[in-house]
Amino acid sequence: MSLTRRDFTRTSAVAGAGVALAGSVAALASAPHALATTDTAGADGETGRHGPVGYGPLLADPAGLLALPAGFTYRVLTRSGGTRLESGEFTPADHDGTAAFPGPRGSTLLVNNHEIDGPRDEVEFPVPLAEGLVYDPAAPGGCTVVEVRPDGGVAEWVGIAGTAQNCAGGTTPWGTWLTCEENSDRAGENGMTKDHGYVFEVDPVDRRANRDPKPLKFFGRYDHEAVVIDAGRGHAYLTEDADEPNGLFYRWTPPEGFRHGPRALRTLADDAGLLQAPKCYDSGGRYVDDLSRATRTGTVYGVDWVEVPDRDARTTDVREQFEDGEVTRARKLEGMWWGDGGAYIVSSYAREESPVRHDGQVWFYDPRHRTLTLKVLLGVNRDPARDGALDGPDNITVSPYGGLIIAEDGEGVQHLFGATDSGRTYPIARNELNIGTEEEPEFSEFTGVTFSPDGKTLYANIQEPGIMLAITGPWKRQKRR
């Protein structure tokens, strides 16, 4: 049943009176449960008027890799071109989306995307073409599975190979990983032998379940970023990182009678269920063309859903199949994570392609009320080289200690940072690995932020050259105020 504009305007209002600020970090908490970034414990250890949040200032790493607060330590689990798989090949490059699962005998299993694109023969460390696990032998990307044992031992093997530019993805309620291709090359383009732009399922525990990879075409063919599953309703929500025109946020509804579970998605036809894009409107019933128009945290939009005409994009890219006024777009829709009964959704930044510029938004989609609420808003970062400034949120996870943990993919200095339920941010880590020059330093983005099943270890990646890290320390629940 459609949530009509009349219903929404009768029962809702836009909350808050904050305005977005231009500058390094700019967001105002203007509604209950809105996350923001005005009262910040910065990388230099300063605290806001409500007392300290986070874990204090970041301390420089003598090894030149990862700055952490006092009492925290890190360990390198895998490194592209350094560590090796069980089969003997080097760990692949370009670590991206990651999720952690309980493994056998007390181990933790991490499924790690490798966002590698381009012709395979031009890649130094592609995902190896493991027998039976290959979709397209011409594609260099895929996933590896990393096992971290209680005794500290680490093993790594291929989960899927022959896919392209595996960026983010998402976990399922039945304990698998959905890996997303952020590349929609057709067979014959860039050397590919099969069509790309799909979602694939990877089982971290049952290696046999990963044989003969099957694209889940009913989720659509486009530049996928992330996906989450609503266990109660059966819907999947997916993001698209694209522009010209800006990308879309999608909802997939399973066919009547379908029951989710291990291997169930592989049984569906390519056109199973219904794929839809959002059409949003404000509390006055006015259509919203782009999510960047929201300039106050706490802004609430109602959402209707519009069917995608051709989800496999046989002649026209999915996002281009809609005329102006039919759907609501957003620039660089990135990571998602399911929590608190809904989906947290990142729009990493907005530039000239968008009506209003910003350097990061986090939205919360409430499926019960069919609303999107702006939780985090980062104003344009005018000094990205300054430590403490934040921009470009990307991968995201809900923290067992409250609030969110966000991986930064912006300009200049790169951080892992937290955002409390009341909107205060705090640093967790800073990438100190300079892959540029002394005169023009460059620091790769953080990716794959996720906690271990017991909540004691935070895993994250430095995408280039591809390093997986395990961070431990005196974690604690963050105060709301």
Locus of tokens 């607060």: 69
List pLDDT tens digits, range 447-474: 999 999 999 999 999 999 999 999 999 9
Rounded-to-10 torsion of CA 14, 19, 25, 31? -30
Query: 165-169, 202-206, 410-414: which has the minimum mean pLDDT?
Result: 410-414
Q: Please say if the pLDDT value at position 324 is more than 80.
A: yes
| Total-model pTM | 0.91
Mean pLDDT computed over every residue of the chain: 89
Which of residues 478 and 9 earns the better pLDDT score? 478
Summarize pLDDT for 27-67 with one digit per residue, the tens.
Answer: 323 333 334 443 334 444 444 445 678 999 999 999 999 99
In a domain, 151, yes or no: no
Which residues pair with residue 169 across a beta bridge?
A: 179
Query: Is 448 inside a domain boundary?
Result: yes
Does 408 map to a domain?
A: yes
From residue 402, how far is each of 231, 303, 339, 428, 455 by CA, in Å? 22, 27, 11, 14, 12
**Longest Cα separation, the chain:** 63
Share above pLDDT 70 across residues of the chain, in percent, rounded to a whole number: 89
Domain-located, residue 98: no
What pLDDT shows up at residue 14?
32
pLDDT at 51: 62
Higher pLDDT: 310 or 7? It is: 310
Our count of domains for the chain comes to: 1
Specify the higher pLDDT residue, 474 or 380.
474
In a domain, 363, yes or no: no
Provide the b/e sequence for 373-394 (b: ≥16 CB within 10 Å): bbbbbbbbbeebeeebbbbbbb
Rounded CA separation 258/366 (Å): 23
pLDDT at 305: 98
Distances (CA, A) of 323 to 290, 305, 306: 13, 15, 12
In a domain, 171, yes or no: no
Please report the pLDDT score of residue 338 as a whole number: 96
Query: Any residues with CB less than 8 A from the CB of 43 and at least 6 apart, and which?
Result: 57, 58, 387, 388, 415, 427, 430
In a domain, 414, yes or no: yes
366 found inside a domain = no
Distance CA(319)–CA(244), nearest Å, equals: 9
Tokens of 95: 């670590």
Q: How large is the C-alpha radius of gyration of the chain?
A: 21
Structural domain boundaries, residue 431? 31-79+381-481
Q: What is the pLDDT of residues 418-455, one digit of tens each?
A: 988 776 789 999 999 999 999 999 999 999 999 999 99
